[in-house]
């Protein structure tokens, strides 16, 4: 039987059933059904002893006695914890609901059978809300084998495709096609990586003989899935490096050295030096650089970008830096122009509001090579903008630019310019490896010396008066304050009302002429928005009341307090970005998270994480756990993480191992022509035809 045949080839699958499987679960071929994996197992035949328990996804059954019961107080209510013991050890049973009733019904030192899913904490197993039965009752019933439970829908159940039917379809499929399941790895490869064979893994993921084989089958299938994603990304990187040629920046010349020795306002951190080395190595090879530079707000990415542009200029090339908003582009321009004062390097700014006369000057300077650095917005991508020889394009906050826009930059020259993509949104390592595995990644993971950590506190709405008093104290010291309201697209009217109500209450509390307040929101005309922003930047207003439009950009070193209203309505990465608007000067800065008392458990986790850490990467890891990989960085649309069995968060150790294994394989055999890699090459080639992973620009 060929696994690419439609599911109707399986005994017991009618055309009507096949149509239902396709419309509800997207299952068309026998292979699709074979890779529909159970998400849990019911095992009521086998008894485990406590010392045999394994870390996998199945549920287990144990016989033993409850020897002790205690109630543990927690923030809300209490939980019940019982010690459950058999001849080989002990573990805890935990209940969070119905505590009093359960406590009264438990019998101590009487034989019980417990059944449920294990939780693991610091290497020890516990079982929340187990099914409990006295052994005397259990013995009266008939027990069934270890059964898989498959993803299903209401429609499938209503149309009679029950779990029992699903199991029988898979049983028939495995009997018919077992001999046709192809192995993707060589025997040596499987031995080196301690992997179960493919057939055995597929048999034991659907119908596990025991717990140990299930754990091995899960590991093998997760490893294979992650290995082939990594192999594709790494191959894409190798092919790009071999195929796409880049300009060679051979020398570190006068402009770089003059700036480094005479104009650099502070010493570079070790992280900045390391990143510069990585970039210099890239641009000296003749291959095309495609590098992602991650660094928290304030870590000094702009200086690295400027030094990289000076490298290009020393080698006779021009450079450009592109930002998503006019405010951010202007800020980059002002910062770079100030740093380069007293040098011979010419810098210009091009945005949508640049005047016609200025545009003509810029176009001329770009074409004759007299203009060295162009800073701007999307305006740089217009066809009229032609460089004499663009050597490097730096893109800030690249997730705000579409692929089509980025490829326009790519075609400004006969050879593509080197690309450095900068982001202040920390991407967790696991996700960076999976989504950006084809890019080289640099991280600036330390802040410049003298920067103080921002003190973050969580306050409830009832503490508002104390918060206002604190703001007055800071303003009296000459500092400035942001007050930010959430912006949720679905209800602009409601957001606007929240903002206006907030503005009124702040105006009452901080009356003019003693206090001056700026207000910025999405319904304003760009010119009015810029005017209000400008007043705040110049220090003419002490308070900026805004929606999240200030999340990116705006550098006001004198602003020392960020108040985030309804903080529970923001995502973690947004809270982190907003907090990064303060702490840019030498003074101690503060972030105050205001929320209502009604918080979801995720909301509590988000606010607690913000109070506990200022490390963007730790925050990104928590965010990834809360939201799942599909909802971060738009990876759902990218098709990269359409995973059948692995989870990049929970299975990160397997992901690291799979990536290392793929790297070693390609170092040893870059084209996979060795006989022992023939099955891997065959699978890789097949994936290339169907996978959406292939694209040629960052």
DSSP string, 241-288: HHHSB--------HHHHHIIIII-SSPPPHHHHHHHHHHHHHHTSSBP
**Mean per-residue pLDDT, 28-32:** 96
Residues with Cβ within 8 Å of residue 364, at least 6 apart in sequence? none
Last residue of some domain: 613, 629, 664?
A: 613
In angstroms, rounded to a whole number, what is the distance separating the alpha carbons of residues 662 and 596?
49
What is the C-alpha to C-alpha distance for residues 331 and 550, in angstroms, rounded to an integer? 13
| CATH code (residue 491) | 3.40.50.300
Q: Are residues 499 and 585 in the same domain?
A: yes
Q: What integer is the mean pLDDT of 15-30?
A: 95
Both 333 and 466 in one domain: the answer is no
Establish if 370 belongs to a structural domain. yes
Residue 621 lies in a domain: no
pLDDT tens readout for residues 432-456:
777 777 778 899 988 777 778 899 9
Query: What is the CB neighbour count within 10 angstroms for residue 70?
Result: 11
Q: What pLDDT is attached to residue 439?
A: 79
Q: What is the percentage of the chain residues whose pLDDT exceeds 70?
A: 91
Same domain, 165 and 90: no
348 and 496 together in one domain: no
Same domain, yes or no: 169 and 114:
no
At 406 the pLDDT is 56
In-domain check, residue 640? no
558 and 606 co-located in one domain: yes
Q: Is residue 61 situated within a structural domain?
A: yes
Q: Are residues 460 and 353 in the same domain?
A: no
Task: Please state, as a whole number, how many other Cβ atoms lie within 10 Å of the Cβ of residue 503.
Answer: 18
Amino acid 637: pLDDT: 38
Report how far residue 71's alpha carbon sits from residue 103's, in angstroms, rounded to the nearest whole number: 9
Same domain, 168 and 139: no
In a domain, 100, yes or no: yes
User: 212-236, pLDDT tens digit by residue?
Assistant: 999 999 999 999 999 999 999 899 8
Q: Are 491 and 565 in a shared domain?
A: yes
Note down the domain range covering 479. Answer: 455-613
The β-bridge partners of 48 are 62
Residues 307 and 343 reside in one and the same domain: yes
Residue 409 forms part of a structural domain: yes
Asked, for residue 514, whether it belongs to a domain, the answer is yes
Q: Is the pLDDT of residue 539 over 60?
A: yes
Residue 407: pLDDT above 80?
A: no
pLDDT by residue (tens digit) across 315-348? 999 999 999 888 788 889 999 999 999 999 999 9
Give me the pLDDT at residue 121, please: 85
Query: Last residue of a domain, which of 96, 120, 144?
Result: 144
Would 228 be classed as within a structural domain? no
Same domain, 137 and 153: no
Return the closest-CA partner of residue 50 out of 114, 96, 145. Answer: 114
Mean residue pLDDT of the chain comes to 87
> Can you tell me the mean pLDDT for 272-286?
94
What pLDDT band is residue 426 in, cutting at 50, 70 and 90? confident
Same structural domain for residues 360 and 480? no
Task: For residue 66, count other CB atoms closer than 10 A to its CB.
Answer: 19
Q: How many domains does the chain have?
A: 4
3-state SS of 80-116?
EEEEEEECCEEEEEEECCCHHHHHHHCCCCCEEEEEE
């Amino acid at each position: 039987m060929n696994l690419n045949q439609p599911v109707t080839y399986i005994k017991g699958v009618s055309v009507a059933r096949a149509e239902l499987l396709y419309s509800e679960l997207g299952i068309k071929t026998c292979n699709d059904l074979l890779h529909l994996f159970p998400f849990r197992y019911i095992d009521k035949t086998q008894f485990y002893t406590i010392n045999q328990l394994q870390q996998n996804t199945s549920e287990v059954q144990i016989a033993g006695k409850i020897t002790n019961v205690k109630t543990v107080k927690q923030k809300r209510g209490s939980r019940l914890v019982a010690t459950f013991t058999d001849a080989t050890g002990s573990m805890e049973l935990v209940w969070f609901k119905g505590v009093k009733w359960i406590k009264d019904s438990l019998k101590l030192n009487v034989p019980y059978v417990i059944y449920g899913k294990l939780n693991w904490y610091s290497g020890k197993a516990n079982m929340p809300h187990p099914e409990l039965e006295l052994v005397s009752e259990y013995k009266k019933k008939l027990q069934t084998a270890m059964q898989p439970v498959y993803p299903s829908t209401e429609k499938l159940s209503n149309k009679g495709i029950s779990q029992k039917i699903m199991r029988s379809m898979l049983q028939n499929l495995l009997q018919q096609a077992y001999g046709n399941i192809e192995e993707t790895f060589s025997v040596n490869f499987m031995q080196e990586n301690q992997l179960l064979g493919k057939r055995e893994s597929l048999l034991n993921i659907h119908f596990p003989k025991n717990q140990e084989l299930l754990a091995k089958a899960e590991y093998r299938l997760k490893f294979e899935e992650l290995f082939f994603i990594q192999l594709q990304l790494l191959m894409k990187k190798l092919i790009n490096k071999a195929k796409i040629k880049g300009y060679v920046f051979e020398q570190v010349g006068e402009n770089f050295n003059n700036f480094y020795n005479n104009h650099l306002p502070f010493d570079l951190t070790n992280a900045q030096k390391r990143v510069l080395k990585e970039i210099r190595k890239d641009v000296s090879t003749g291959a095309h650089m495609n590098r992602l530079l991650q660094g928290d707000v304030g870590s000094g990415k702009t200086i690295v970008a400027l030094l990289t542009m000076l490298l290009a200029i020393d080698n006779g090339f021009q450079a450009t830096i592109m930002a998503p908003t006019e405010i951010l582009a202007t800020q980059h321009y002002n910062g770079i122009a100030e740093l380069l004062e007293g040098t011979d390097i010419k810098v210009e700014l091009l945005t949508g509001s640049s005047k016609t006369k200025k545009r003509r000057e810029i176009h001329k300077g770009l074409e004759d090579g007299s203009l060295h650095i162009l800073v701007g917005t999307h305006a740089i991508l217009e066809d009229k903008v032609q460089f004499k020889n663009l050597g490097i394009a730096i893109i800030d906050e690249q997730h705000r630019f579409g692929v089509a826009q980025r490829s326009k930059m790519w075609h400004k020259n006969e050879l593509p310019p080197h690309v450095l993509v900068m982001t202040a949104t920390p991407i967790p390592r696991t996700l960076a490896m999976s989504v950006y595995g084809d890019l080289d990644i640099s991280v600036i993971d330390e802040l410049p010396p003298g920067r103080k950590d921002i003190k973050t506190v969580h306050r409830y709405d009832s503490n508002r008066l104390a918060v206002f008093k604190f703001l007055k104290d800071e303003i009296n010291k000459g500092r400035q304050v942001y007050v930010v309201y959430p912006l949720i697209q679905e209800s602009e009217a409601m957001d606007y009302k929240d903002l206006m109500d907030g503005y009124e209450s702040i105006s009452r509390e901080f009356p003019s002429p003693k206090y001056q307040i700026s207000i910025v929101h999405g319904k304003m005309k760009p010119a009015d928005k810029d005017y209000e922003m400008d007043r705040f930047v110049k220090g003419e207003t002490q308070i900026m009341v805004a929606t999240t439009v200030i999340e990116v950009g705006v550098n006001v070193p004198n602003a020392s307090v960020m108040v985030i209203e309804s903080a529970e309505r923001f995502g973690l990465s947004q809270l982190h970005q907003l907090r990064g608007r303060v702490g840019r000067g030498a003074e101690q800065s503060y972030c105050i998270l205001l929320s209502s008392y009604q918080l979801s458990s995720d909301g509590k986790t988000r606010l607690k994480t913000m109070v506990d850490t200022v490390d963007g990467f730790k925050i990104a890891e928590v965010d990834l756990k809360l939201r799942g990989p599909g909802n971060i960085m738009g990876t759902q649309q990218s098709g990269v993480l359409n995973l059948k069995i692995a989870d990049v968060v929970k299975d990160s150790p397997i992901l690291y191992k799979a990536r290392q294994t793929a790297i070693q394989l390609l170092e040893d055999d870059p084209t996979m022509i060795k006989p022992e890699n023939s099955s891997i090459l065959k699978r890789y080639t097949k994936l290339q035809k169907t996978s959406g992973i292939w694209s040629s620009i960052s």
